[in-house]
Structure 1
Amino acid sequence: MTAPADRHERFPGLPRRGFLAAAGGAAGLGALTLAGCSGSPATETASGKGDGTPRRGGRLRAAFAGGGASETLDPHLGNLFADAARSKALFDKLADYGADLAAVPRLAEKWEPNAVLDRWTVTLRQAEFHDGKPVTAADVLYSYRRIADPEKAYRARASLEPIDLKASRATGERTVEFVLKRPTAEFPNVIAAFGTYIVQDGATAFDRDPVGSGPFRFVSFTPGRSTVLRRNDAHWDGAPYLDELELVVANEESARINALLGGQIEYAHELNPATGRAHEKAGGIEIVRLRNSAMQAFAMKTDRPPFDDPRVREAFFLIADRQELVDGALSGAGEQGNDLFGKGYEYYADELPQRTQDIGRARSLLKQAGAQDLKVTLDTSSVAAGFTEAAGIFRDQAARAGVTVEVRMGSKDSYWKDILDSGTLCCYRSGAMPIESHISQRLLTDSTTNATKWQDKTFDALYQQAQSTKDRTARAALYGRMQRRLYTEGGFLVWGFGDWILGTARNLRGVAREAPANTLDWARFDKVWLA
C-alpha cells in the first residue's frame, strides 16, 4: 500500500543494506537528501537513565538503511535491521533475548520441559491480534510450519530444526506441546530466534494490510521509502507512548546523521565510530552505544596447515595486541576480546585470564612447530566496518614475530560464502546470539557455518551432554569446559567486541542503553517517548 506522496517522497531510498546476518553487512551506495520535514532540534537533554516521567503522544521518525523496492513486511523473510524493526513493531515472538542473551517470555507466558528435555509445553499469555482475534496454539503451529517450509527461504528455518513439527500439537487453545528431535535444554533459545514471529493461522500476504499482535498497527508501507504505524492500545504489554511510528529509509550514514542534526528525524540507526566520537560531546544530539554488539575476530581454519597445529594457533593468539586493534580498527568503540564469543552473555567464561600480547612466546611456539618463517594469507574485505583496518594492523603485529601476512581483498558481494570453506585465515565478525547458538551453528562437526573447521568429537559430546542436562548450574559447567578448550586451542582469535552506535534527538527518552543489537530492547519503540 502506498501512502500519500507528501509524506514519503521526502525519503527516497537507495540499495544499501544493514544486514542482521550473524556475520556481515554491505557497503553503502548512492546519496540521499532529506528536506522539507517538519520538526526542529529539541532543547532538552536525554540522560538515558531515569529519563523522567513517560509522556504520551507524538510521532517518532526513525531512519534505517533499507533494501529498496524488494522490501517486505513478511516477518519471516526479513534480513535487514530495518526489517527487524518493522517486524518487532507489528508482530510478536514467543520469546526474545534479554541483554545477556538469555531468553525471556513474550507471547509465551511460560515453558516447561519433560524430564528428558525432548518435549516442551508452552503456555501462551492472553494476547490479541490487531483485529481482536486471540493468539492461539493454532497460530503458533501454523507460523512455525510456514517458517519450516523447505520450499521457502525463510531465515528462521534452521533455528527451528530441533522441532518435530509434524508431531508437535495443540493441547488446548493456549497450549502447545513441542516434540523435539533430541533433548534440547536450551529450547527457549529456539523460540526466541530471529524471525520466529507469530502470524495468524492461514496468513499468506503481509504487505497490504498485515495483522500482527505487536505494539503498533499498520497504516502504510512504501518499500524502500517509509513505513507508518499507529499505536496498538490493546497490546498485551501495554500501549506504546507514541501515537505513531514512522520508519524511514536513509541508506547513507551521512543522510541519517544530517537528518538527525536537522531535526527531520529523532532516531538514526547504525552510525560509524568516527561519527559517534565527533558528536558525543558536541551536545546537539545524543550518542547511544550498545556494548558488546559485534564480535570481531580472525578465523583460523584448524583442518589445514599451518593452523592444524595448535602451537601455531596459540602463537597467533599471542601475536595480537587487542587494544591496538580496538583502537585502530574500531576507533576505540569497543573493548578487548579474549578469544571467546559472547562477552557479558549468559554462560560466558569470564574467569579465564585476559590474554595479552607476548611476541617472545609466540616466536618460541612457532619455532617448536617448525614455522618460524611462516607466510600466510589473510582474507579480508570492505564488507564490514573495520575489516581492512584490522587486517593491516594484524599484518604489522605479525611481522614482529617473524610472520609474513599477505592481505588479500575479497568481494563484498560474496565474501561470507567465499571464506566459509576456502583460505586459511580471514577476518570475521558476529552479531549477538546466545553462546549455545554460537556453539551449535559454528563449532560442532556438522555445523553448517563452521568457518574455523573446528571438528572434535569430545567437544561435540560435551555439547550434547549440556543439552541433556536440566540443572542450569551443571549445564553452565559444561559450557565452561567447552570454552576453556576453545580458549586454549580453538580457531577464533577474538580480538574485540564492537559497540553498535545510534544517534537520537535530545528529546527522545527511554532508549535502552544496555541491550546489544538484535535483542529485545534494541529498537524497542513501544517503550520510548518524546519529551
Structure 2
Amino acid sequence: MTDSRPTLSRRTLLRTATGITVGAAGAVLLTACGSDDDKTPAADRKPTGAPKRGGKLRAAFIGGSNETADVLKAANTPIDYVRARAIYDELCVLDADGRTEMQLAESLTPNADGTEWTLKVRSGVTFSDGRKLTIDDVLFTLRTYVSTQANQAPLLADLDLPKARRKDELTAVLVMKRPHGFLDLVFTQGIFIVPAGTKDFDKVPGSGPFILQQHRVGQGATLKRNPNYWGSAGPYLDELELVSIADGAARLNALKAGQIDYAASISLVAGKSERANAAVQLIIPPKWEWPNFGAMLKRSQDPFKDARVAQALKYAVDREQMVERVTLGFGEVGNDLFGKFLPFYAEDLPQRQYDPDKARSLLKEAGVDKLSLTIRTSDYEYGLAEGAAVLAEQAKKAGISIGLDKVPAGDFFADPKVFIGAKFQSANRKPRPLPLDVLFFYGTDALLPFTGVAGPKIDDLVTNVRSAVSDEQRRSSIGDIQHYLYEEGGDLVWAKAPVLAAATPKVHGVKSLGYPTFPSFRDAYLA
C-alpha cells in the first residue's frame, strides 16, 4: 500500500493518539474492595428547574511547565485545553453518546464515495473582536494546523487543502486525497477555528461562550461571559476562573476548603473515600469516555506472532478481579477491544472469560511449553503498574511468568520509538470515535502501530472503514474489523474505568463532550 502517513514527528503522533495522559493518577492499589454498595458510583446530581444565570465558577485543572496561551498548542495541558474550549469553537463536537453534533458547521456532507465533503458554516457568528465568521477562517485554520504540525495535524493528513474549492463566503468543498468517510469525526478533535490572517496565536479572538480577561501561565485564567455569543442557550456564568493545581489531592483539598467549586481528575481512591460526603458530588462521564486499562502485545514480534499465544494471555486475565482491585469497583470489565459503549461497537462478540486451562491449552497448541514475558510498565499514571502487578499474579495459574520492567515516569513516553516498538507494554488508552482508532492503530499505513497488526487482510478492513460514508457502512465495516481484532489483535483490555471529577453540590451543566479530563463549561451554571 502507498505510505500516506504525514511527515510529522512520532512524538507529535504519540500525543495526538494517546491524548494528555492524566486523569486518575495518584491512586494506590487495594487488594480488596468495599461493600456491594460501593460498586455504584455517585453521579452528577441533577438539579430541578431551568439553569440559573450569573455567578462565578472556580475550577482547578492540571497545568505544568509547558502551559501556553497558544491556541494551536492547547493540547499541551488540560488547563490549556479547557481554556480553549471556553474561548473558541470547533466545527463539530461529540455529544454524550459519542455521535457528531454540529457546532460552527451548519452542515458537513460527503459525496457518494467520500472523496469530497461540502462544508457550510453558520451565518451570524462573530468573533469576540466583531469580525464575522466566514469559510475563509475555516480554510485558514485548517491550513495553519497542518503547516505548523500541530498535534491535530495527523488527523488532517487525508485533506487535500490546496484543492479546496470556495463556493461562497460560508461554503467550501473539501477534497480528500483518498476516500474518507469520517471527516465529521476528525473535526471533533480539538481543531479550534480562528480568524483568517491571524499571526499571534497567543492573543487570537474566538467565537466561543467566554472571552479571555486575564491569563497567567502556571497560575490560571479569568474568563468573562461573551455577551454576543451566537448559541441559543449558555453561557450562564458571568465569569469562569481556571486555576492551575498540579496535584490531584491538592485540588480536592481546595474544593473541600471552599477555595474552588470544581476539581478535575481526582483519584479513584479519593473518589471512593468521598462517596458518602454530602458536600462533594462526584462527576462521572458517560461510559464510552472511560479509559481502557490493559496492555499492548506486539503481534509482529515473537512470541506473539502466533495468535494463539496472544489469545492465551487474554484468557489468563481475571477481569472481574481487575475491576475490584485496580479500578476499586468503579470500572467495568473490558473485552480486548476499544470503543465499548460507542456507536458501531460489535456488541455480538462474546465476553472473554477468565480461563487459565484454556490458556494452557492454547500455549500447548502453539508449541510453547513455558511462556516467560516481561511487561514494560510505569507509575506514570494510575493503572499501569498496578494492573501489570495483578496480571503477573493471575497469569501464574496459566503457567505464564511475567516480570515487570518498571520504567521511571519521566522516561515512559520519552522515546517514542521505544514506546511504539515495545513488545509487551502496559496501556491506559483514552477512547476516541472508533473510525479514528482504526486510522491510527491498525494496518500497514497505521500512524502508530502499537500492536503491529498489518498485512493484506487488515489493510482491506481498514480501507473499508476509512471509506465508510453512511452509518450502515460504518456499522458493517467496524463490525468486520472488530471481529478480526477480537481473534487476531494485540490489544488486551481488561477493564474500563472513569476519570472522576469532584464539585460542590451547586455546580451543574459541566459536560465532558468526549474529553472528561478537560470538559466544556459552555452550559455550566451554579444552582
- TM-score in terms of structure 1 length: 0.88
2:71 to 70, 74, 83: 74
CA contact (8 A) 1:141 1:169 kept: no
Q: Provide the residue aligned with 1:141 in structure 2.
A: 139
Whether 1:201 aligns to 2:196 is yes
The superposition leaves residues 88-116 of structure 1 with CA deviations (integer Å, 9 ceiling, x where unpaired) of 00001111122332221110001112222
| Change in 2 beyond 3 A, CA 1:46/1:278 | closer
Q: Provide the residue aligned with 2:502 in structure 1.
A: 503
| Helix, strand or coil at the partner of 1:224 | coil
Deviation, structure 1 residue 370: 1.7
The superposition leaves residues 264-302 of structure 1 with CA deviations (integer Å, 9 ceiling, x where unpaired) of 111100000000111111212101112342111211100
Of the structure 1 ranges 153-162 and 466-475, higher mean CA displacement relative to structure 2 is found in 466-475
Q: Provide the residue aligned with 2:205 in structure 1.
A: 211
Residues in 2 aligned to 1:186 and 1:360: alpha-carbon distance in whole angstroms: 42
CA contact (8 A) 1:75 1:83 kept: no
The superposition leaves residues 336-389 of structure 1 with CA deviations (integer Å, 9 ceiling, x where unpaired) of 111110110111111211111011111111111121311011110011211111
Alignment of 1:259-270 (within 5 A): 259-270=254-265
Residues in 2 aligned to 1:348 and 1:98: alpha-carbon distance in whole angstroms: 17
1:128 maps to a residue whose letter is T
Whether 1:380 aligns to 2:393 is no
1:526 to 501, 511, 522: 522
CA contact (8 A) 2:376 2:425 kept: yes
| Change in 2 beyond 3 A, CA 1:89/1:50 | same
The superposition leaves residues 32-52 of structure 1 with CA deviations (integer Å, 9 ceiling, x where unpaired) of xxxxxxxxxxxxx99633543
Q: Provide the residue aligned with 1:230 in structure 2.
A: 224
1:85 maps to a residue whose letter is V
| Change in 2 beyond 3 A, CA 1:455/1:423 | same
Q: Provide the residue aligned with 1:449 in structure 2.
A: 448
Q: Provide the residue aligned with 1:395 in structure 2.
A: 392
1:446 maps to a residue whose letter is D
Give the number of equivalent residue pairs: 491
| Helix, strand or coil at the partner of 1:115 | coil
Deviation, structure 1 residue 510: 2.1
Residues in 1 aligned to 2:17 and 2:464: alpha-carbon distance in whole angstroms: 28
Whether 1:129 aligns to 2:123 is no
Of the structure 1 ranges 454-463 and 296-305, higher mean CA displacement relative to structure 2 is found in 454-463
1:165 to 161, 165, 169: 161
Identical amino acids, percent of aligned pairs: 32
2:214 to 210, 220, 242: 220
CA contact (8 A) 2:323 2:333 kept: yes
CA contact (8 A) 2:291 2:496 kept: yes
The superposition leaves residues 432-454 of structure 1 with CA deviations (integer Å, 9 ceiling, x where unpaired) of 21111111101121212111111
1:99 maps to a residue whose letter is A
1:358 to 347, 355, 360: 355
| Helix, strand or coil at the partner of 2:163 | strand
| Helix, strand or coil at the partner of 2:273 | helix
Alignment of 1:106-505 (within 5 A): 106-126=103-123, 127-149=125-147, 152-194=148-190, 196-207=191-202, 209-238=203-232, 239-290=234-285, 291-292=287-288, 293-416=290-413, 417=416, 419-505=418-504
CA contact (8 A) 2:44 2:284 kept: no
**Structure 2 portions without partners, runs of 5+:** 1-14, 27-41
Residues in 2 aligned to 1:276 and 1:216: alpha-carbon distance in whole angstroms: 30
Q: Provide the residue aligned with 1:33 in structure 2.
A: none
1:254 maps to a residue whose letter is A
CA contact (8 A) 1:109 1:125 kept: yes
Residues in 1 aligned to 2:17 and 2:262: alpha-carbon distance in whole angstroms: 22
Q: Provide the residue aligned with 1:25 in structure 2.
A: 21
After superposition, the CA RMSD in angstroms is 2.1
- TM-score in terms of structure 2 length: 0.89
Residues in 2 aligned to 1:84 and 1:518: alpha-carbon distance in whole angstroms: 11
CA contact (8 A) 1:326 1:496 kept: yes
Moved over 4 A (4+): 26-29
Residues in 1 aligned to 2:16 and 2:186: alpha-carbon distance in whole angstroms: 17
| Helix, strand or coil at the partner of 2:487 | helix
1:281 maps to a residue whose letter is A
| Change in 2 beyond 3 A, CA 1:63/1:345 | same
Residues in 2 aligned to 1:253 and 1:465: alpha-carbon distance in whole angstroms: 42
1:517 to 509, 515, 525: 515
| Change in 2 beyond 3 A, CA 1:72/1:186 | same
CA contact (8 A) 1:23 1:429 kept: no
Q: Provide the residue aligned with 1:92 in structure 2.
A: 89
**Structure 1 portions without partners, runs of 5+:** 1-18, 30-44
1:296 maps to a residue whose letter is F
CA contact (8 A) 2:182 2:468 kept: no
| Helix, strand or coil at the partner of 1:82 | helix
